[in-house]
A and B are shown apart, each in its own frame.
Chain A
Amino acid sequence: MNIPDDLKYTKTHEWIRLEGSVATIGITDYAQSELGDIVYVELPEAGRILAVGDTFGTVESVKTVSDVYAPVSGEVVETNPELESASELLNQEPYGEGWMVKIRMDGDVPDALTADAYRTLLETE
């Protein structure tokens, strides 16, 4: 299972890449592997204001539908335009081309896990 050390993680299997005040969010390798082939992704409009824990998107795989939660609060500044036609990027490159949204944070990152802490969490799942 790929868990890059330079990212932060959530208990609900999102990852966070912090660059200044902007957080890029996606789902983890574990999440995509549990979901199976992903065929449809719903993302928010740019400009939407999210609070921590808000559902900001939906990921639909051949098997099931799963909500994705905002791990930070702030404004959605960009969504990944490729995912509409190439949702398989979430399976193929969950930490790269498969990123989902960029959020300009208006606060700190609450309760984010380090890579080690996330690894420990997966061991107990």
Chain B
Amino acid sequence: MSDPRRTVLFSAHKSLNARIVEFAGWEMPVQYMGVIAESRAVRESAGMFDVSHMGRAWFRGERVREFLELVTTNDIAKMEDGGSHYSLLCYPNGTCVDDVMVYRVSGGVFRMVINAANREKDLEWMRSQNRHDVVIAEETFETVMIAVQGPKASEIVQGISEEKILETERFHTVQCTTAGAPAFAARTGYTGEDGFELILPTDHAEEVWQALLDAGVTPCGLAARDVLRVEAGLPLYGNELSDKINPIESGLGWVCSKGKEFIGSEEINRMREDGPPRKLVGIRMETKIVPREGYPVLRDGARIGTVSSGVYSPTFECGIAFAFVETEHAKLKQPCSVEIRGKPHPAMVVSKRFMKGR
């Protein structure tokens, strides 16, 4: 293994006393003042995450839309200039290479954000499918990405930007000047809150980070990011999606177009018609005990599924999780239990969009 990479904000994280961990080959801040305080800052005000470790690439060419329709599951044709959407890269057997964000800059120019752990695999996969003369140019190391999230996040980003950006709709993007930096700002995120995700040239990273700190934004680490995405019902590749899971099982049929052929569409449509053998559900514990990945989900003493991701939820003050359970046991608002250290702990099968019931 080579030495872990550092984002250009590494020294900024160190000076904030962040606890650093290695993640997907990067040394990343896992927490600053504490997971609970950081999660609350995002739910109540504004927090920011250095997500520069995520892969980023440009896609250019006359046939770029045709190419993206083939390799991604969502409808490229429905996206306007300045639009974006969540999508999947799939294998011919319908399982996932990765989940991605796709941004349309113009008819012939797109951008994509991919998972850090899958960066090389995704680019290799897409290049192997490229018979459309699309230029795929990775920009991970020339840019940084800062996600600013929370009810006050957009207002704060507006406050340090020259252009009017507050009118930008959800899942739309705007080019702006933020703390003096040329920024690509997308009204998207991974927390269930409003906010912008900013892609910036590396040489402006520290001044934008500092301007956001000065504006009162709380720096948040990867641990809070994981808590917030589970509370918001958002999947993580490797847990809720993988090369062993059909997206229909994960409840992601809504990002798999029924109106086009794409790599994996045959198997995905087959499972959509036949019904999945297991389904991803939400699990809510009666106590603060944490139902962690891999723990068995039980009903009437028999195993009905397995936890795929679980956290302590500061918003709901109890343990919450996603679990794959046998389809016949996937009905919501039914009791179940999670086996934790050999003992069953009472819980409830609920919608995985926990924040909707806030």
- Which A residues lie at the B interface, using CB under 8 A? 36-37, 39-40, 58, 60, 62-63, 65, 87
Closest to B39 in A: A62
Interface string of B293-335 (1 = CB under 8 A from A): 0000000000000000001100000010000000000000000
Q: Given A36-B34, A37-B36, A87-B288, check contact A62 B341 (CB 8 Å).
A: no
Q: Given A62-B227, A63-B35, check contact A40 B341 (CB 8 Å).
A: no
Q: Give bound CA distance, A122 to B336, whole Å.
A: 43
Q: Give bound CA distance, A76 to B36, whole Å.
A: 32
For B35, list chain A residues within 8 Å (CB): 36-37, 62-63
16 A-B residue contacts at CB 8 Å?
A36-B31, A36-B34, A37-B34, A37-B312, A39-B288, A39-B319, A40-B287, A40-B289, A40-B290, A40-B319, A62-B36, A62-B290, A62-B311, A63-B223, A65-B292, A65-B341
- Which B residues lie at the A interface, using CB under 8 A? 31, 34-36, 223, 227, 287-290, 292, 311-312, 319, 341
Q: What number of residue pairs across chains A and B have CB atoms under 8 A from each other?
A: 36
In contact, B36 and A60 (Cβ under 8 angstroms): no
Report, nearest first, the 4 A-B pairs whose CB atoms are least far apart: A39-B312, A62-B35, A37-B36, A39-B288
Q: Give bound CA distance, A58 to B287, whole Å.
A: 15
Q: Give bound CA distance, A36 to B292, whole Å.
A: 16
Point out which of B36, B223, B227, B311 has the most chain A C-beta atoms below 10 A from its C-beta.
B36
Q: Give bound CA distance, A36 to B312, whole Å.
A: 12
Q: Give bound CA distance, A62 to B222, whole Å.
A: 12
In contact, B227 and A40 (Cβ under 8 angstroms): no
**Extra inter-chain contacts (6) besides given A36-B223, A37-B312, A65-B341, CB under 8 Å:** A36-B31, A36-B35, A39-B312, A60-B288, A62-B35, A63-B35
Q: Give bound CA distance, A37 to B288, whole Å.
A: 12
Q: Give bound CA distance, A39 to B287, whole Å.
A: 10
Q: Give bound CA distance, A110 to B128, whole Å.
A: 65
Closest to A62 in B: B35
Point out which of A37, A39, A60, A65 has the most chain B C-beta atoms below 10 A from its C-beta.
A39
Closest to B311 in A: A62
- B223, B290, B341: the one contacting A39 at CB < 8 Å is B290
Q: Give bound CA distance, A65 to B35, whole Å.
A: 15
Q: Give bound CA distance, A55 to B40, whole Å.
A: 33
For A39, list chain B residues within 8 Å (CB): 288, 290, 312, 319
In contact, B223 and A62 (Cβ under 8 angstroms): yes
Q: Give bound CA distance, A40 to B35, whole Å.
A: 15
- Nearest CB of chain A from residue B139's CB, rounded to whole Å: 32
Closest to A91 in B: B34
Q: Give bound CA distance, A62 to B290, whole Å.
A: 8
- Nearest CB of chain A from residue B40's CB, rounded to whole Å: 11
In contact, B311 and A60 (Cβ under 8 angstroms): no
For A63, list chain B residues within 8 Å (CB): 35, 223
In contact, B312 and A58 (Cβ under 8 angstroms): no
Q: Give bound CA distance, A63 to B319, whole Å.
A: 12
- Nearest CB of chain A from residue B290's CB, rounded to whole Å: 6
For A36, list chain B residues within 8 Å (CB): 31, 34-35, 223
In contact, B288 and A40 (Cβ under 8 angstroms): yes
Q: Give bound CA distance, A60 to B35, whole Å.
A: 14
For B290, list chain A residues within 8 Å (CB): 39-40, 60, 62, 65
For A87, list chain B residues within 8 Å (CB): 288
Closest to B34 in A: A37
In contact, B34 and A58 (Cβ under 8 angstroms): no
For B319, list chain A residues within 8 Å (CB): 39-40
Q: Give bound CA distance, A101 to B288, whole Å.
A: 20
Point out which of B31, B35, B312, B319 has the most chain A C-beta atoms below 10 A from its C-beta.
B312
For B31, list chain A residues within 8 Å (CB): 36
Q: Give bound CA distance, A87 to B319, whole Å.
A: 14
- Nearest CB of chain A from residue B309's CB, rounded to whole Å: 13
- Nearest CB of chain A from residue B221's CB, rounded to whole Å: 10
- Nearest CB of chain B from residue A86's CB, rounded to whole Å: 11
